[in-house]
Amino acid sequence: MTQQHQGCPFHSATSQRKALKPGDTPTGRVTKRESIWRIGSLAAAKDVLLARHETIQAGFTAEYIPRDAFRSHPILISDGPQHDEQRRKVARFFAPRIVATRYGTLMETVVDKILDEAKRTGTITIDKVALYYTVEVTASIVGLTHAKVPALARRLEKFFRQPPLDRSKPRLGRTNRQWMAAAANGLGPLVGLFVFDVLPAVRSRTKNPRQDVISHLIEQDSNLADILVECVTYGTAGMVTTREFITMACWHLLDNDELRQRYVAAEEDERLGILAEIIRLEPPVGHLYRRVTDNITVTDDDESYELSPGELVDLDIRQTNADPDAFADDPLQLRPGRDRAKGVQDVGLSFGFGAHGCPGQPLALRETDALLHRLLSLEVAKRTEPTISWDDLIEGYKVRGLTLDVR
């Protein structure tokens, strides 16, 4: 499922990216091969994401999730007014003010434990501590607080041990045996999550509601299947992508002493801007997919392209985030505070866009900052270089083995 190589694979005058996927060289801004469109233009990608009634979610194997089991479609696979209503109601849990006030103390407490242990042992492996850190924070927001964090983390992590897939082929290019393996690999963690985490949380919050996502879902009369899938969505999104970004951002800051010093000395807004520039270059989810359901037109450089029903659209986020029309002046260089085109976010499309934007953006950046700012303020030095591999399911990088000495 993954390809792996040692250390930073790509240093040149033209790029400061550390995660360069083998064979993933852009070939054009808007191209079509058979019935698949690949879009690397940020403006054209936004056209697709804004086509609310002409496309549906096709990433994360969403088209293969049985929808009949749900009273209301989970936010991951819903579209249209239902999606908008769901998103509006959960947005309050991830608003910047709520993240700073309600979860700021939690983050500080968890970071205290991480750094105390690092000082005691004299070493820290970033991806390992980031796993438990992100799970503990996300579990509190979602309401999965009945099991110990390491056990919950193991269940969520096992969920991603899946066979390879190819979205250009029927049935994702998997054989019957691979589909059976996918079901088996996913079913065990899913049953464990339901029995040990979701069911106790639902029982508890039915009697005593709290300010968390599960209590909100109970209030919306969601059934257990709805709640389980939402917990998987928020749990894995909060754990997997943020975990990878924390490790990647730490790697960048360690390898750029000037940027690290600037980051450590900066106020919060500037620090978040630095992290935004890193995640623009290194989006944890490198591709988003939409299935066309009605004719739509996208435009790039005054040229129009007609997309037809049934066609798959691959939004190459790694390419859109380096679009020179959106980010002028060497877009593959890491330059916090850089100029960008009107209407373009500093993170590019790393968190999606519009109604399909990730509501967890404020949480992910502040959570990363809460750990890295305090860690990199210490006297730390890199002990081992990390390795990078690639996950087909989320179309993102996995960074492992970045270990630091803590003096």
Asked if 351 and 49 count as a contact pair (C-beta separation under 8 A), the reply is no
Residue among 347, 343, 331, 292 nearest 314 (CA): 292
For the residues 386-398, what does the mean pLDDT come to? Answer: 88
Residue among 76, 228, 77 nearest 159 (CA): 228
| pLDDT, tens digit (0-9, with 9 covering 90-100), for 307-361 | 999 999 999 999 999 999 999 889 999 999 999 999 999 999 999 898 778 888 8
Percent of the chain with pLDDT over 70: 87
Joined together, the tokens standing for residue 11 give: 């240093």
The single-letter DSSP state of residue 22 is: T
For the residues 247-263, what does the mean pLDDT come to? Answer: 97
**DSSP-assigned states of every residue in 312-381:** EEEEEHHHHTT-TTTS-S-TTS--TT----TT--TTTTBTB-GGGS-TTHHHHHHHHHHHHHHHHTS-EE
Joined together, the tokens standing for residue 380 give: 């730390």
Joined together, the tokens standing for residue 74 give: 């989970």
Distance CA 279, CA 258 (A): 18
Distance CA 140, CA 147 (A): 11
pLDDT confidence of residue 26? 63
The total number of structural domains that make up the chain: 1
What distance lies between CA 1 and its chain's CA centroid? 18
| Average confidence score pLDDT of the chain | 86
What is the band of 300 on the pLDDT scale with cuts at 50, 70, 90? very high
pLDDT confidence of residue 247? 97
Alpha-carbon separation of residue 236 from 194, 230, 240, 274, 343 (angstroms)? 14, 10, 5, 25, 29
Percent of the chain with pLDDT over 90: 51
The residues near 125 (Cβ < 8 Å, ≥ 6 apart) are 401, 402, 403, 404
pLDDT confidence of residue 100? 81
Which of 15-19, 258-262, 387-391, 401-405 has the weakest average pLDDT? 15-19
pLDDT confidence of residue 110? 95
pLDDT confidence of residue 5? 37
Name the more confident of 162 and 342: 342
Distance CA 143, CA 131 (A): 17
Joined together, the tokens standing for residue 215 give: 């209590």
For the residues 250-270, what does the mean pLDDT come to? Answer: 97
Count of residues for the chain?
A: 407
Q: Which helix (H) or strand (E) holds 104?
A: helix 104-121
**pLDDT reading at 83 higher than 80:** no
Measured in Å, how far apart are the chain's first and last C-alpha atoms? 37
pTM: predicted TM-score of the whole model, two decimal places: 0.88
For the residues 234-261, what does the mean pLDDT come to? Answer: 91
Task: Judge residue 53's burial from the number of C-beta atoms within 10 Å of its C-beta, 0-12 exposed, 13-18 middle, 19 or more buried.
Answer: exposed
| pLDDT, tens digit (0-9, with 9 covering 90-100), for 65-75 | 666 655 555 56
Distance CA 270, CA 33 (A): 42
**pLDDT reading at 293 higher than 80:** yes
pLDDT confidence of residue 13? 45
Name the more confident of 192 and 87: 192
pLDDT confidence of residue 7? 38
For the residues 371-395, what does the mean pLDDT come to? Answer: 92
**pLDDT reading at 169 higher than 90:** no
Distance CA 307, CA 38 (A): 11
**pLDDT reading at 371 higher than 50:** yes
Residue among 70, 19, 110, 103 nearest 322 (CA): 19
**pLDDT reading at 230 higher than 80:** yes
Joined together, the tokens standing for residue 310 give: 């049934």
- Backbone Cα Rg of the chain: 21
What is the band of 4 on the pLDDT scale with cuts at 50, 70, 90? very low
Distance CA 360, CA 365 (A): 9
Beta-bridged to residue 37, according to DSSP, are: 32, 313
| pLDDT, tens digit (0-9, with 9 covering 90-100), for 95-124 | 778 888 888 899 999 999 999 999 999 999
* CATH number (domain holding residue 295): 1.10.630.10
Task: Judge residue 143's burial from the number of C-beta atoms within 10 Å of its C-beta, 0-12 exposed, 13-18 middle, 19 or more buried.
Answer: buried
pLDDT confidence of residue 182? 77
Angle, alpha carbons 388-137-256 (nearest 5°): 40
**pLDDT reading at 158 higher than 90:** no
What distance lies between CA 37 and its chain's CA centroid? 22
Where in the sequence is the domain holding 242, given as residue range(s)? 4-406
| pLDDT, tens digit (0-9, with 9 covering 90-100), for 48-57 | 999 888 988 8
pLDDT confidence of residue 10? 34
Distance CA 236, CA 203 (A): 22
Name the more confident of 205 and 86: 205
Joined together, the tokens standing for residue 205 give: 């919050």
What is the band of 396 on the pLDDT scale with cuts at 50, 70, 90? confident
